[in-house]
């Protein structure tokens, strides 16, 4: 027979009731006071234990954070940014995990966003710091900005409808983006106007609209007929405008955070050429991506077709295989002719993107 059967439980409960009924008021109040005192002591001990654990966790996290700072050998500006992030976490009562800033991209993004809301000038330094820590690029939940562009990066500027100019990033700070033309250009660019800029990175085409703040000419050492043009915010004389348009220029642009990312629909530059058969004619592809390709020239016989309303069969020789697809004409410009895929198997799109990224990696792009 078990010790705690139903009968004995009932006797135990009824005995408690009889004990309470038979106690005096003083005894009952004393019992309650003792019970409350025991509960208070237990709660106090638990809180003391939790506080001690929290303090140990904070001290441990701070020690790991300091050790990471020493091992990483970051520049003083980066160290200060990490201290600012740690302070923001302390303000949010998250100081027991500040060491995770070096490991957790989502944690870094969250408190970087808090710092950027308070000090917008920290956006670019924090964007540059994240890949240094090995946490990837860009901030989750935040729009991409032109502040991410590094000096030397290639930029295309859509000056006119069919005119695309090649530039390079000269400098970049929280106030503006400055780009320079590596070669002579001849196009009308007006301060205060909006231009579309685009660039390629990791197989993705980025596009946005930027406002021109200022245009400067990059001129040779001064000669009697070659003086500094200076700021072009005001409209210069026609002869002066002609001299400036035929020289290298430096353009200062406002930053934009409305950047469009075109993964499969952008033309991604590849080093070298790819053979293809377009509507029965051999062509050389110079730019290709998951959304289409570009070629510098097309056979004259194709001019007789209504390209804009035609869907052309195409076979692309990609490494050791042929990709069957159908393309339609997008536009033609000085840079060449662009075609978009009208029909293509998703697996072939993935092969093209993989091929482009592999070529870029192997060539150090």
Distance CA 310, CA 49 (A): 77
Distance CA 185, CA 147 (A): 25
H helix or E strand, kind and range, residue 105: helix 105-118
- Least confident range from 36-40, 114-118, 138-142, 189-193: namely 138-142
CATH fold of 269-362: Thrombin, subunit H (2.40.10)
Instruction: Pull the structure tokens for residue 67.
Output: 């050790």
Q: Which residues does residue 276 pair with via DSSP β-bridges, in sequence order?
A: 283, 316
Encode pLDDT of 265-319 as tens digits: 445 566 567 889 998 889 988 888 777 888 888 877 777 677 777 788 999 988 7
Mean pLDDT over 226-233 rounds to 32
- How many residues are listed for the chain in this entry? 365
- More confident position, 256 or 163: 256
3 state SS of 267:
coil
- Distance from CA of residue 46 to its chain's centroid? 45
Output the pLDDT for position 218: 53
Tokens 């992030």 belong to 85
Encode pLDDT of 56-96 as tens digits: 888 888 888 888 888 887 888 888 999 999 999 988 888 88
Distance CA 292, CA 305 (A): 20
What is the assigned CATH class of domain 147-260?
A: mainly beta
3 state SS of 211:
strand
The pLDDT mean for the chain works out to: 76
Mean pLDDT over 217-234 rounds to 38
All CATH 2.40.10.220 domain ranges of the chain, comma separated, are 269-362
Note whether 265 and 212 are within 8 A (CB).
Answer: no
H helix or E strand, kind and range, residue 43: helix 25-72
β-bridge pairing 194-201 and 204-217: antiparallel
**What pTM was computed for the model?**
0.43
């Amino acid at each position: 027979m078990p010790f705690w059967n139903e009968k004995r439980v009932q006797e135990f409960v009824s005995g408690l009731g009889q004990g309470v009924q038979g106690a005096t008021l003083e005894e009952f109040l004393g019992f309650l006071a003792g019970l409350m005192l025991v509960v208070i002591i237990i709660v106090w001990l638990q809180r003391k234990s939790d506080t001690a654990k929290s303090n140990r966790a904070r001290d441990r996290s701070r020690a790991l954070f300091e050790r990471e700072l020493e091992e990483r050998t970051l520049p003083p500006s980066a160290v200060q940014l990490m201290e600012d992030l740690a302070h923001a976490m302390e303000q949010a009562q998250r100081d027991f995990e500040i060491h995770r800033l070096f490991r957790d991209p989502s944690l870094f993004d969250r408190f970087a966003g808090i710092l950027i809301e308070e000090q917008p000038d920290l956006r670019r330094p924090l964007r540059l710091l994240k890949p240094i820590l090995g946490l990837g690029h860009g901030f989750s939940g935040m729009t991409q900005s032109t502040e991410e562009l590094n000096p030397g990066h290639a930029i295309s500027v859509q000056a006119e409808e069919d005119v695309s100019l090649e530039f390079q990033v000269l400098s970049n700070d929280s106030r503006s983006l400055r780009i320079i033309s590596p070669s002579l250009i001849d196009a009308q660019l007006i301060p205060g106007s909006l231009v579309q800029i685009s660039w390629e990175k990791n197989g993705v085409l980025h596009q946005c609209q930027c406002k021109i703040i200022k245009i400067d000419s990059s001129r040779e050492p001064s000669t009697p007929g070659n003086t500094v043009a200076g700021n072009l915010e005001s409209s210069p004389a026609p002869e002066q405008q002609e001299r400036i348009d035929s020289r290298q220029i430096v353009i200062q642009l406002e930053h934009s955070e409305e950047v469009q990312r075109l993964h499969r629909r952008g033309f991604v530059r590849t080093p070298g050429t790819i053979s293809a058969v377009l509507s029965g004619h051999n062509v050389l592809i110079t730019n290709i991506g998951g959304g289409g390709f570009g070629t510098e020239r097309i056979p004259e016989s194709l001019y007789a077709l209504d390209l804009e309303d035609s869907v052309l069969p195409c076979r692309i020789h990609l490494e050791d295989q042929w990709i069957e697809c159908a393309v339609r004409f997008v536009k033609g410009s000085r840079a060449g002719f662009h075609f978009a895929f009208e029909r293509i198997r998703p697996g072939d799109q993935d092969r093209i993107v993989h091929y482009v990224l592999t070529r870029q990696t192997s060539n150090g792009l």
